[in-house]
């Protein structure tokens, strides 16, 4: 491909594009998968690669192509044993638990470390596809990693002679592909980070709208295992997303932080569904961002509840944070967060747009909380 729009470009989180615009097609997936296989070999990543995907129409075919290339390169791939969709946080958790040492610390060097790929364009329109790489940290790959992968992938786009690939029917039956119960592994681990007793005893009735995304089959299991009161508001999965209301620019976009995209959910709640719920949340197709809907209010501005979280977490309610640990925010997030942090004497560190900029500071302890205006948070 000669045109810049046809090249592999890793943005804030992975390579994204549309097949009809020749910016996301089989050639891109072949080249990126080969580049990742070569990169992880040079980086000494010898453990399994956890492979997830969302509900976009292009994600399924892209996942199969990736398996063909990865297996041909001798990469051990772990796929969902139920052949189900796998959200981004679930792949991250699988990587982190695999790479955890016996003493509970995270390993970033050594033999047998795992990494992963998630096939998703996030909240982008139904016509789009996406492909992102998660290194041994379990989080989004840093710029130096994605730049190296993209550069090699673009070299391969011009010359497929270096590509290794086997037919899917052969690859999926090979010793290099192993089924993994992502859902059970993730849900079982949640009790180690969430106090479900508090939620259960509060009696709060929660509603979740997966927005037709990869988290749809996780909520019923969470509800059953932990005895909560969670209802899935709109459980349908439709790769056309015809049930969504259009976003501010006239496109279908599964953005749980957008009041335009969430209007259909809000209308359904206001028409009577609020009788079942006290609070409703939404997740995007790969479930790495969220939205909150309240009665008589609608969709909350992410900047507002990030500020509330900062005040609660660092204002004395949750002691024990590392000394000097800062609050992380993206450059385009509201200054309201700065003001709240200043009021409780918390340091603020700003990073460029993209959650990948929070990964290293979170692991090092430089940042104890990272939040971005597009409804992604971690602490």
- Please give the Cα distance from 239 to 326 (Å, whole number): 40
Count CA atoms closer than 13 A to 79's CA, side-chain side: 24
Residue 17, helix vs strand vs coil: strand
| Nearest by Cα to 299 from 333, 261, 335 | 261
H/E element, 342? helix 335-343
Cβ atoms within 10 Å of 367's Cβ, excluding its own:
25
From 13, 23, 33, 122, active-site residue: 122
Q: Can 122 be counted among the known catalytic residues? A: yes
CA nearest neighbour of 224 among 235, 214, 212, 232 = 232
Q: Is residue 280 a contact partner of residue 206, using CB atoms and an 8 Å limit? A: yes
Strand partners, 298: 294
Q: Annotated catalytic sites, by residue? A: 122
């Amino acid at each position: 491909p000669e045109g810049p729009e046809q090249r592999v470009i890793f943005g804030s989180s992975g390579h994204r594009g549309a097949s009809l615009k020749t910016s996301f097609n089989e050639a891109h997936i072949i080249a990126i998968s080969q580049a990742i296989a070569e990169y992880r070999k040079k980086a000494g990543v010898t453990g399994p690669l956890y492979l997830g995907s969302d509900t976009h129409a292009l994600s399924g075919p892209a996942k199969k192509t990736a398996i063909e290339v990865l297996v041909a390169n001798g990469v051990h791939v772990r796929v969902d044993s139920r052949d189900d969709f796998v959200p981004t946080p679930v792949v991250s958790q699988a990587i982190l638990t695999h790479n955890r040492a016996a003493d509970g610390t995270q390993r970033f060097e050594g033999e047998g470390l795992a990494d992963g790929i998630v096939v998703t364009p996030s909240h982008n329109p139904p016509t789009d596809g996406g492909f992102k790489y998660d290194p041994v940290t379990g989080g989004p790959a840093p710029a130096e990693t994605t730049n190296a992968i993209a550069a090699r992938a673009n070299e391969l786009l011009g010359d497929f002679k270096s590509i290794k690939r086997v037919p899917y029917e052969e690859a999926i039956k090979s010793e290099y592909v192993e089924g993994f119960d992502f859902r059970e592994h993730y849900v079982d681990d949640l009790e180690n980070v969430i106090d479900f007793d508090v939620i259960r005893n509060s009696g709060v009735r929660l509603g979740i709208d997966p927005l037709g995304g990869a988290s749809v089959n996780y909520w019923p299991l969470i509800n059953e295992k932990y005895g909560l009161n969670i209802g899935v508001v709109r459980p349908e999965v439709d790769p056309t997303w015809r049930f969504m209301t259009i976003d501010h620019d006239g496109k279908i976009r599964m953005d749980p932080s957008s009041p335009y995209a969430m209007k259909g959910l809000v209308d359904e709640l206001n028409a009577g569904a609020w009788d079942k719920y006290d609070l409703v949340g939404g997740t995007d197709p790969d479930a790495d961002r969220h939205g909150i809907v309240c009665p008589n209010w609608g969709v909350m501005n992410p900047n507002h509840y990030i500020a509330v979280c900062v005040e609660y977490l660092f204002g004395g309610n949750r002691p024990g944070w590392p000394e000097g640990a800062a609050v992380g925010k993206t450059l385009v997030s509201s200054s309201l967060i700065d003001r709240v942090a200043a009021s409780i004497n918390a340091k603020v560190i700003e990073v460029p747009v993209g959650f990948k900029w929070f990964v290293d500071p979170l692991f090092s302890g430089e940042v104890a909380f990272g939040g971005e205006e597009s409804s992604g948070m971690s602490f």
